[in-house]
Amino acid sequence: MNQAVVAEVVILVAVFHALLLSAAAMVWVERKVAAWLQQRHGPTLVGYAGLLQPFADIIKLIFKEELRPAAADKWLFYLAPAISAACSFAAFAVVPFGAETTFFGLLDEPVKLQVADVNVAVLVIFAIGSMSVYGIVLAGWASNSKYSLLGALRSSAQMISYELSYGMALASVLVMANSMSLTEIVNAQDGAWFGFIPRWFIFVNPIGALIFMTAGVAETNRAPFDFPEAEQELVAGYHTEYSSMSFALFFQAEYVNMVTVSAVTTDLFLGGWHGPLIPESFGWIWFLVKTGFLLFFYVWMRWTLPRYRYDQLMAFGWKVLLPLSVVNLLLTSAWVIYFGF
């Protein structure tokens, strides 16, 4: 077996476990940041500063009883969380998180820090995002419960509405980078203007970045767009009837989706692994810092902004975000054609 294959397998396994761990870490971060913003302590008992709290939660979830409503559709009820979890992991496969590296000369040939280098990576992420709706919709339908069904219907309506603006914002980046490969998009953002302003797309196309992040929050069902699971209205939304590990799968899928959207945003708008001070081969540190900041931003937003009303969400998506993203795409294309980039 040659080195490249071994390296790829190692990266694959490492990414998978990092994503699993990141979900646990995000649960801890979410609770700690929430506590910090509300002047509380948050979890403190299990491990140092409550660091082991997520693992205690996981153990609890594993040993809980698995309940299924008598009138639920048996097959789809268990298929739904599996679809959610699988889609959340699959999307990260095409996200590059560092420049080519030889791992300090360990390998003869440099390898890409990425599970799969697909030349239509951006579309793959988009496709998997549209598939992940099925997990939620099926969960709501199969549970045979009105709260679940309402949550699922809200979720599908919301995701269809925001997917369009999401796609338009993506397209404006494709036009600027003239490529669909995430690696090439990141490399198009290398360097700096006047020696200190990084050539990140967020500075060239701030409206696109704003639209992309807003739609990203809606796609991941996070506050202030967390309608599918609005607890004051729908108990727990689409996962009301789930318990034990099947609930844990939904929970984990939500956090992994957050990580993926943050990582994609980093690659598309924040220059990926490019940044000052750190040499190119350690670029993944910049990548982690930027993704971490975006994740913190997510949590920050959740505990700052109140939830919208449902009709406001729909009106905002169709009447504000979509026209804005179309105009942004047209202007960006015109700029690229007449002035170049």
Partner 1 sequence: MGSEALLFWVFGLVTVVASLLVIAQRNPVYSVLLLIASFAGLSGLYVLLDAPFTAVTQIVVYAGAILVLFLFVVMLLNAPHEDTEEDIARLKTINAATARLRSGPLLFGALLAIVFVVELLWALRRITSAGRFDPDAADAVSSVSAIGRVLFTEYQFAFEVTSVLIIVAMVGAVVLARREPAGKKS
Stretch that binds partner 1, among 2-10, 122-130, 214-222, 270-278 (CB under 8 A): 122-130
Give me 215's structure tokens. Answer: 């739609």
- Gap between the Cα atoms of 214 and 203, Å rounded: 17
- Classified as helix, coil or strand, 107 is coil
Residues contacting residue 1 through CB under 8 Å, at least 6 positions apart: none
How far is C-alpha 37 from the chain's CA centre?
23
| 137 binds partner 1 per the rule CB under 8 A | yes
CB nearer to partner 1: pick between 33 and 234: 234
Among 19, 85, 90, 124, binds partner 1 (CB under 8 A): 124
The 10 Å CB-count burial string (b at 16+, else e) for 238-259 is: bbbbbeebbbbbbbbbbbbbbb
Count of C-beta atoms within a 10 Å radius of residue 123: 15
Q: How far is the CB of 162 from partner 1 (least distance, A)?
A: 13
Closest alpha carbon to 143 in 238, 221, 64: 238
Q: How far is the CB of 155 from partner 1 (least distance, A)?
A: 10
| 123 binds partner 1 per the rule CB under 8 A | yes
Among 36, 55, 134, 282, binds partner 1 (CB under 8 A): 134
Peptide bond into 69 cis (omega under 30): no
* Sign (positive or negative) of CA dihedral 291, 294, 300, 305: negative
Among 159, 202, 295, 321, binds partner 1 (CB under 8 A): 159
Among 76, 107, 207, 236, binds partner 1 (CB under 8 A): 76
CB nearer to partner 1: pick between 34 and 164: 164
| 326 binds partner 1 per the rule CB under 8 A | no
CB nearer to partner 1: pick between 177 and 295: 177
| 153 binds partner 1 per the rule CB under 8 A | yes
Among 16, 52, 82, 119, binds partner 1 (CB under 8 A): 119
DSSP 225-278: S-GGG-HHHHTTGGGTT--HHHHHHHHHHHHHHHHHHHHHHHHHHS-TT--SSS
Q: How far is the CB of 181 from partner 1 (least distance, A)?
A: 10
Closest alpha carbon to 293 in 316, 313, 270, 323: 270
| 333 binds partner 1 per the rule CB under 8 A | no
CB nearer to partner 1: pick between 113 and 159: 159
The H or E element spanning position 82 is helix 74-92
Q: How far is the CB of 130 from partner 1 (least distance, A)?
A: 3
Stretch that binds partner 1, among 31-39, 115-123, 224-232, 321-329 (CB under 8 A): 115-123
Give me 41's structure tokens. Answer: 């302590």
| 281 binds partner 1 per the rule CB under 8 A | no
Give me 337's structure tokens. Answer: 């054609």
Number of residues that bind partner 1 (CB under 8 A): 24
Task: Tell me how far CA of residue 209 lies from CA of 172, 201, 204, 257, in angstroms.
Answer: 10, 8, 9, 18
Q: How far is the CB of 137 from partner 1 (least distance, A)?
A: 6
Q: How far is the CB of 138 from partner 1 (least distance, A)?
A: 8
Q: How far is the CB of 154 from partner 1 (least distance, A)?
A: 12
User: Which spans of this chain sit near partner 1 (rule: CB under 8 A)?
Assistant: 73, 76, 118-120, 123-124, 126-127, 130-131, 133-134, 137-138, 141, 149, 152-153, 156, 159-160, 163, 180
